[in-house]
Amino acid sequence: MDLIVARPEGLYCTAGDFYIDPWKPVARAVITHAHADHARPGHGHYLAHTHSEGTLRTRLGEITLQTLAYGEAIEHNGVKISLHPAGHVLGSAQVRLEHGRRVWVASGDYKTEADGTCAPFEPVACDTFITESTFGLPVYRWPTQAALSLEINDWWRSNAEAGRASVLFCYAFGKAQRILHGADASIGPIVVHGAVEPLNAVYRAAGVNLPPTLRVSDEGVNPQMLKRTLVLAPPSAQGTPWMKRFGNYSDAFASGWMQLRGTRRRRGVDRGFVMSDHADWPGLQQAIKATGAERVFVTHGSVAIMVRWLTENGLEAQGFKTDYGDEDAGAVADEAKAEA
């Protein structure tokens, strides 16, 4: 029997009697990271990386949580469990399972370029690798972190010189902190939405260097100041009364989906920045090869295309049906396939 199988509740370790990122309530869950599609409420016991504690408790409240450092191993029902850096967001981890002579690694979500806000991805040798494929199409190739930060700072600087705020819509956990880490705070003040600041606090507590941030309601924040401000807000803030505080602003959206023609138009923003916390097509290929795995299971995203590529390259590959998702994946999936 396989060490990990797909069940209605999620990915199940048969020998250990626990789940990895289950989407229905279970007794024991190993959590790869604290994004909502992977870390859900209702489990009896959670196991995650130490740096996930802040985000998990912020999002899930009071839970029974056990944490591990990267590389630290425990044994449960004869299965050796350890967590290894995934490079996705703060605390993100690949789950290594060893039982008998079998070694499986479940990647969760991962990104192969280091960004300075979380431990960088490390390949983990295994027999069987479970990989995501959110951006598993050749069209997806990301700019470097340095190039992305330069592009965002140039846009912000140009707006500030013209006397208008720069509103950048981005996801509150992961992308917002990456943008902040690369922001040139000499350009002007930085204001963040109320959904972003609690997560900034978690990152700072973990030792990640972020520039000072303000909320729009803080003392001293005034209309004149806002004309030079970089504003980070979740996509849900677009079109809400909260936005009226910024007057004549320029807006943008940061997402891997901005690689595709038409996505910026559908979002109704002035500018799009190509930015993702997931591996791009070359990154997925490199990561899978580095594991040395002869067998690969593919989850969420362009599963069929990735399985075909793996099979053509001599690996045993198949898909795992899961309940994971990413951002506005469904809205652009068809366009992505058309552009591949």
Q: Hey, which residues does 230 pair with through a beta bridge? A: 166, 190
pLDDT tens by residue, 140-150: 999 999 999 99
Per-residue pLDDT at 326 = 56
Please provide the average confidence, as pLDDT, over all residues in the chain: 93
Full-model pTM: 0.93
Give the closest residue to 43 by CA, choosing from 14, 57, 61, 64.
Answer: 64
Of residues 232, 228, 229, the one with CA closest to residue 176: 232
Say whether 145-274 and 4-140+277-339 share the same fold: no
Q: Measured between alpha carbons, how far is residue 155 from residues 90, 160, 161, 249 in Å?
A: 27, 9, 10, 12
pLDDT band at 100 (very low <50, low <70, confident <90, very high): very high
Instruction: Give the CATH superfamily of 4-140+277-339.
Output: Ribonuclease Z/Hydroxyacylglutathione hydrolase-like (3.60.15.10)
Q: How do the domains of the chain map onto residue ranges?
A: 4-140+277-339, 145-274
CA distances from residue 221 to 112, 214, 246, 247 in whole angstroms, order as listed: 38, 8, 11, 14
Q: How far apart are CA 100 and CA 256, in angstroms?
A: 39
pLDDT (tens digit per residue) in 16-65: 999 999 999 999 999 999 999 999 999 999 999 999 999 999 999 999 99
Nearest to 43 by CA among 55, 58, 56, 28: 28
**Where does 145-274 sit in CATH, by number?**
3.40.50.10890
**Rounded distance between C-alpha atoms, residue 118 and residue 92, angstroms:** 8
The string of pLDDT tens digits covering residues 237-293 is 999 999 999 999 999 999 999 998 777 777 889 999 999 999 999 999 999 999 999
- Taking CA 288 as the corner, what is the angle to CA 34 and CA 114, rounded to the nearest 5 degrees? 55
Q: Judge whether residue 320 has pLDDT over 90.
A: no
